[in-house]
Amino acid sequence: MSKSELYQIHTPVLLYPDGSPSLDNWPGKLEHPVAESITPDGEMIYNITQPSLTAYLPVPEKNTGTAVLIAPGGAFRLLSIYSEGTQVAEWLAERGIAAFVLKYRLVHLRDEHIQELVFPRMDEFPMSVAGQPAIEDGFRALELIRQNASRYAINPDNVAAIGFSAGANLVSNLGIAAETTARPDYVASIYGAPAFHVGSQPDLPPADSEQALPPFFLAFAQNDRLVGTDVRDFYTSLLSAGYFPEAHFYVNGDHGFGMHKQGTTSDHFIEQFYHWLQTLGLTQKPGEPEHYVKPPFDYPILEN
């Protein structure tokens, strides 16, 4: 079957049809208006001020009823829309998973050469400040997906979120939100964590508490010099709180591998993410049997 026979791409939906919330007190806003733009290679978008959601919906006979919100990365200054957005959505939709690419609000950049602008603005304020509007947009996107579950033919209780780098910061913060009903049901954090470059991760509720977090999937390359330490710290925090995240720590791949093929084990993160969803019972198509997961072996207690 061709791609057009497997899924349909819908017209983007604005998160805030009546206008985005005010950013008057946010340091990422410039004094003059900015226009959304895309780099010549089509890989990156910048100056997003009107956030939106684009749905990639599988045909009914392939539909699993599972939805995945996709948050590309780019340091909250750019959006890696291709290798961490549309390519991911297409891959998932081809396999029966409704995918939603989130274009969230970014730090404003001036009109000069893009590479000369991003890194100077990186030092103006921390990532936690840069990402405030983006995280707000993430919560709004989840709300819209669930509100329109019947329209999208998805189960509102099976809404996962996957994010990359800054997008991973976004979705992991959604996943650890204090309001449990606002969280995604499953979270995949690809080379990212809830906190960047601060030396510690947020306190997490115990796994046996009423505030317990959703299941987490982590993936990063061990030669990632940008956020490798942050991901390791988050993994340790999850373990300390009693969680057992699915974790893939690749030898190579660097930062930002996305859907790019490099001949490394990181090339297979998307298949591993899919297999994780499969073990959770989220990939079953109409007419298919349920996925069987062997129960864990119950070791007998040996008495002296």
Q: Considering the domain boundaries, does residue 289 fall inside one?
A: no
Q: What confidence category does residue 48 fall into, taking pLDDT thresholds of 50, 70 and 90? A: very high
- Find the domain containing 216 and state its range: 3-279
66 part of a folded domain: yes
* pLDDT at residue 119 in the model: 56
Tokens of 78: 């750019």
DSSP-derived letter for residue 1 is: -
pLDDT in tens, 245-303: 999 999 999 999 999 999 999 999 999 999 999 999 999 998 899 888 888 877 666 66
Q: Which is more confident, 224 or 119? A: 224
Q: Which residues on adjacent β-strands are paired with residue 160?
A: 68, 186
SS3 state at 156: coil
Is 216 a member of any domain?
yes
The answer to whether 64 touches 278, Cβ cutoff 8 Å, is no
* Residues 6+ positions from 64 with CB-CB distance below 8 Å: 58, 95, 96, 97, 282, 283, 284, 285
Q: What is the DSSP secondary structure assignment for residue 95, as one 8-state letter?
A: T
Task: Give a yes or no: residue 300 inside a domain.
Answer: no
Task: List all residues 6 or more positions away from 213 whose beta carbon is below 8 Å from its beta carbon.
Answer: 175, 176, 183, 187, 204, 205, 207, 238, 241, 243
* Cβ atoms < 10 Å from Cβ of 18: 5
Determine the pLDDT at residue 301. 63
Helix axis angle for 132-147 and 166-175, nearest 10°, is: 60
Residues pairing with 162 in the sheet: 70, 188
> Mean pLDDT, to the nearest integer, of 35-50?
91
Residue 185 pLDDT > 80: yes
- Tell me how many domains the chain contains: 1
Q: Mean of the per-residue pLDDT values for the chain? A: 92
Q: Tell me whether residue 302 is in a domain.
A: no
Please count the CA atoms within 13 angstroms of the CA of 88 that sit on its side-chain side.
34
pLDDT over 60 at 1, yes or no: no
Structure confidence by residue, pLDDT tens digits, 57-94: 999 999 999 999 999 999 999 999 999 999 999 999 99
For range 1-15, the mean pLDDT = 87
CATH at 90: 3.40.50.1820
In a domain, 294, yes or no: no
* Residue 295 domain-assigned (yes or no): no
252 occurs within a structural domain = yes
**Are 176 and 238 spatial neighbours (Cβ–Cβ below 8 Å)?**
no
Joined together, the tokens standing for residue 219 give 């993936």
